[in-house]
């Protein structure tokens, strides 16, 4: 396994490697959700590359960029055990050298929900992913359904910019009580951790209501909202089109129930498909 912080070395490491190449972009602090993506890439691709980069461009002022968990040595050990071939972990100064000025603006899908709460977030995500794709040239890139709006944004970017790669999206890995694994779960204290599964329960309630015949979006969402209790604070709870993240008045599958809630200073997100 080759570990490099240098983009030319990363490209050289994969240029003559066996194809297909699968890339798993991450911000590190790896958990079982990330490792599921690596395992799938390992099963489907001859060469597996993983990027580790906490991308300042996708964090707003006052967000958790500085305190975001970093666990590089443990990540390298986990990726070695998972059979990754290349780890690309650039420094911020390498990714964004002085004079860096170009960014990728993904349009309306990036402006709703997460995009509204985190202005510029998806521009940062899209820009770093296009840079990673350009550096590594993977045939496949692996992403988690947990970040569903990120997936919708990247699908738009890949289609609009004719990027020659396939996005592979894997189901959300959860704790036994339903909480979606997230690097940010480490911020929760014991009380917050106990409350956090309400988010998944709210999504379940929405999905159940629609399955039982509810087609009115606001009424379906109200079923979910009944599961959310203080001290948890809703940031958003809705049913949207999985591609555009527009909210229809009438819910027709396939749709996506989406949720975000604050627990103290930590905001968590989750979603569930309505098939
Ligand atoms: P991050 O390090 O948070 O940028 O996540 C890197 C990738 O792992 C993204 O594609 C995420 O959607 C994915 N991911 C994060 N949490 C989970 C999870 N619980 N299950 C599956 N994939 C996940």
- The tokens describing 45, both together, are 């691709």
55 Cα to the center of ligand 1, angstroms = 14
CB 96 within 8 A of CB 56: yes
User: What is the average pLDDT value for the chain, to the nearest integer?
Assistant: 98
pLDDT at 150: 98
pLDDT at 101: 98
Concerning whether 34 is annotated as a catalytic residue, the answer is yes
Element (H, E) at 14: helix 7-15
The pTM assigned to this predicted structure is: 0.98
Q: How large a percentage of the chain has pLDDT more than 70?
A: 100
pLDDT tens column, 3-62: 999 999 999 999 999 999 999 999 999 999 999 999 999 999 999 999 999 999 999 999
Three-state secondary structure call for residue 225: helix
CB 89 within 8 A of CB 3: yes
Burial class for 37, CB neighbours closer than 10 Å (0-12, 13-18, 19+): buried
φ, ψ (nearest 5 deg) of residue 49: -115, 145
- Which residues contact ligand 1 via a Cβ below 6 A? 26-27, 33-34, 36-37, 143-144, 146-147, 170, 172-173, 180-183
Q: Which of 86, 80, 89, 84 is nearest to 41 (CA)?
A: 84
pLDDT at 37: 98
Q: Which atom of ligand 1 is nearest to the CA of 181?
A: 19
CB 259 within 8 A of CB 270: yes
Cis peptide before 142 (omega within 30 of 0): no
pLDDT at 188: 98
- The tokens describing 72, both together, are 């590089």
pLDDT tens column, 133-162: 999 999 999 999 999 999 999 999 999 999
Cα separations in angstroms, 106 against 77, 85, 122, 150, 189: 35, 31, 7, 10, 35
pLDDT at 26: 98
- The tokens describing 140, both together, are 């496949």
β-bridge partners, 256: 240, 273
CA atoms within a 13 Å half-sphere pointing along the CA-CB vector of 104: 22
Q: How sure is the predictor about 245, in pLDDT bands with cuts at 50, 70 and 90?
A: very high
Q: Which residues contact 37 (CB under 8 A, 6 or more apart)?
A: 24, 26, 142, 143, 144, 170
39 Cα to the center of ligand 1, angstroms = 13
Best of 25, 30, 33 for a ligand 1 pocket test (most atoms within 8 Å of beta carbon)? 33
């Amino acid at each position: 396994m080759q570990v490099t912080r240098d983009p030319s070395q990363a490209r050289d490491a994969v240029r003559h490697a066996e194809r297909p190449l699968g890339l798993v972009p991450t911000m590190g602090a790896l958990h079982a959700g990330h490792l599921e993506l690596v395992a799938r890439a390992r099963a489907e691709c001859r060469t597996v590359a993983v990027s580790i980069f906490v991308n300042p461009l996708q964090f707003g002022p006052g967000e958790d960029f500085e305190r975001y968990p970093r666990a590089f040595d443990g990540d390298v050990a986990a990726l070695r055990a998972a059979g990754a071939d290349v780890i690309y972990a650039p420094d911020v100064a390498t990714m964004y050298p002085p004079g860096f000025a170009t960014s990728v603006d993904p349009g309306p899908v990036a402006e709703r929900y997460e995009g509204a709460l985190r202005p510029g977030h998806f521009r940062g995500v899209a820009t770093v992913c296009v840079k990673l794709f350009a550096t590594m040239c993977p045939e496949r890139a692996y992403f988690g359904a947990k970040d569903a709006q990120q997936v919708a944004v990247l699908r738009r970017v890949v289609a609009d910019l004719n990027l020659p790669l396939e996005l592979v999206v894997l189901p959300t890995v959860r704790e036994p009580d339903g909480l979606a694994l997230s690097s940010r779960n480490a911020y929760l204290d014991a009380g917050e951790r106990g409350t956090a599964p309400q988010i998944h329960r709210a999504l379940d309630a929405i999905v159940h209501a629609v399955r039982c015949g509810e087609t009115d979006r606001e009424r379906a969402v109200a079923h979910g909202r009944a599961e959310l209790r203080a001290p948890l604070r809703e940031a958003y709870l809705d049913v949207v089109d999985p591609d555009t993240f527009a909210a229809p008045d009438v819910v027709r599958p396939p749709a996506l129930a989406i949720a975000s809630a604050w627990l103290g200073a930590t905001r968590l997100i989750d979603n569930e498909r309505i098939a």
